[in-house]
Structure formats: C-alpha cells, structure tokens
Amino acid sequence: MWQHQQRRPHQILASGLRHGLMHVTISLLAVGIAFSLPSIAQYVLFEWWPKTQADNHSLMVTEIGLSALLVLLFNALQILWQIRHVLAAAKNASLVYATESTSKSARKKAKRLAESSSSPRDLSILTLTGFNTFVEPDSLFHKVLNAAYEIRVMLLDPRSEATSRLVDAIPDQHVNLQSMREEIAETIAHLTALHDAGKRVTLKFCEHAPLWKVVVAGDNVWVQHCHHGFEVKQQPEYVFALKRGAPRQGFFVPFYLYFLEHWNRQNHPVYDFDSKELVYRACTGQQARRIPLRIPDNAESFLEQSHLSKRISA
C-alpha cells in the first residue's frame, strides 16, 4: 500500500511546465512594477498632488479613499495571516480536500481528485451498504475500481441488529430496513461482477456499524463519519494524503490502521462468491463453519436477478 508509485512522464512534464510558467509570470510582474515605480512617483508628486491640494473636495475624497484602502489592506493582511495558520494546520494534518456540499460542482471536483492520482493496485473500503461507492452512477470510484486489481471491502451485516438501529435513527421515510438491505444486495452483485471479471475481491461483513466510512486508494484516504440519524452521503467528506517522508504525521495512517483493525478481526465472516456462503473462521485461522447468505425480507432476489451481476458498471 505504501510502496512508491512512480509518476507518469506526462504528469512530470505538465508539472514542470506549470512551475516554469509561474516563475516567468512572477518575474515579468516584478520587472514591470520596478520600471513603473519611478514614473508613478513622479506623476503623484509633481502632477496629481499639487492639483488635489488646492481643491478641498478632491482632498477630502482622497483622504476617505486612502483610509478605506488602508482598512481593506489591513483586513486583507489579517485574513492572509489567518489563512496561513489554517493552511499550516491542514498541512500538518495532511488534509488535501474537504467539503460539506453535495452539489454537482463539489462532486466534480472530488471526482477529479479521485481520478487524478495514479491508479492504485489495491483498494480498501469500510462502509455501511457500499451503494454510493459501487452502484451509484456518479460514484467517485468507478474508474479507480475498474483499474484496481485487489479490492478489500467490509460492509455492515444486513442481518444484524445494528442495521435495524441505524434505520430507526434516520428520519427519512425513504430509508427503511428493506431499502438498506437491497442496497447491500446490489453492492454484493456489483462486487460479484468485479470478481467474475478476474479481480481479486474479498468481501467481509461486520456485526456492528463502523464509526467511519474509509476508502483507502493509493496515497489518499477518503473519510466520512457514519453518524446515527444521518445518511453517510450527507456527511462532510475529507481526504488525507500519505506523507512519504514522515508517515507518522497526518491522519492517513490512523484511518488506514482503523480499517486494518476492523479487517483483521477473526469474528467477521468472509463471503464466498462462488457458493454465496459466509465463511466463519476460528482464532487459529481454520474454517469453522459455512452458512448461506440469506438477506431477510426477500432482498436476496437482487443477488440473482440484478443486471449488475452480469456486467461491470462504467
């Protein structure tokens, strides 16, 4: 997961061109200001100021304008100082993206970020139903999922009491136990399609709802709080990047370890895509028992009838 991923040649070239153009622009601007200062100073001292000094109205307008300009300047400096501290805090936390909006513009920006990084070989995902990640057409990770080879997914067990408690806490009438189980069933169907396409897909189920939705993709980890009473897609979204030079800094490693802590628990069953069974293992790692996965309330029909099981969504 943390192995070095080489940047593509066109990415290196584009980055070099951007830095070169920025340096040229700044240099030209500095030269222009330097050559303009003597002319500006001569105009102010010998032409503009003598005329203004003799006119009381112009003098008053000048004083008011200068005062307003100074106020704006000091306010701008204060804002820049605050932004500097905010940027320093974000840098220390390795925060590269954050949004509370679900607007189309925010989704497009997030999708560009998800697709701009080099394609990760493996993905690690901890979530509730997985519907927004795998099934929804506007998912941020369709391109990344199709490019990845190994995919590790942990979903909430649709038969657990935690699923019922989550549904009861959400006031939206469109969200009920049946719809939540159907979302899990469609996610399983989509993962089955990825498995049948030759990808190494491992699916586990957890009995208790996780505190965070975590998607580890390459050097970035996408995080949303699984707050009781709210849908996960309505929660703020944060992206933290791995600091290769100082991996202990920032929140990438803590959230990745949070995923691993859940993933490595022996009591979580593994889904067998071929037999559609849940495989339970003992503490020694040996297989203890197998049971068919039957999602209550007839939601298991989605596993057999969904068209998603026959193809991979684009």
- Judged by phi (left if over 0) then psi (alpha if -120 to 50, else beta), residue 218 lies in left
At 268 the three-state DSSP class reads: coil
Query: Which of the two residues, 155 and 89, has the higher pLDDT score?
Result: 155
Instruction: Work out the number of other CB atoms within 10 angstroms of the CB of residue 41.
Output: 10
d(CA 224, CA 255): 11
At 102 the three-state DSSP class reads: coil
For 288, the token pair is 């203890």
Average pLDDT over the chain, rounded to an integer: 78
For 148, the token pair is 């990845």
Would you say residue 64 has pLDDT above 80? yes
Q: pLDDT digits over 120-130, tens only? A: 788 999 999 89
Tell me the pLDDT band of 67, cut-offs 50, 70 and 90: confident
Query: Which of the two residues, 33 and 196, has the higher pLDDT score?
Result: 196
Q: pLDDT digits over 245-280, tens only? A: 887 888 999 999 999 999 998 889 999 998 888 998
At 98 the three-state DSSP class reads: strand
Mean pLDDT for the stretch of residues 231-249? 84
Tell me the pLDDT band of 306, cut-offs 50, 70 and 90: very low
Q: At residue 246, what is the residue type?
A: A
Tell me the pLDDT band of 103, cut-offs 50, 70 and 90: low
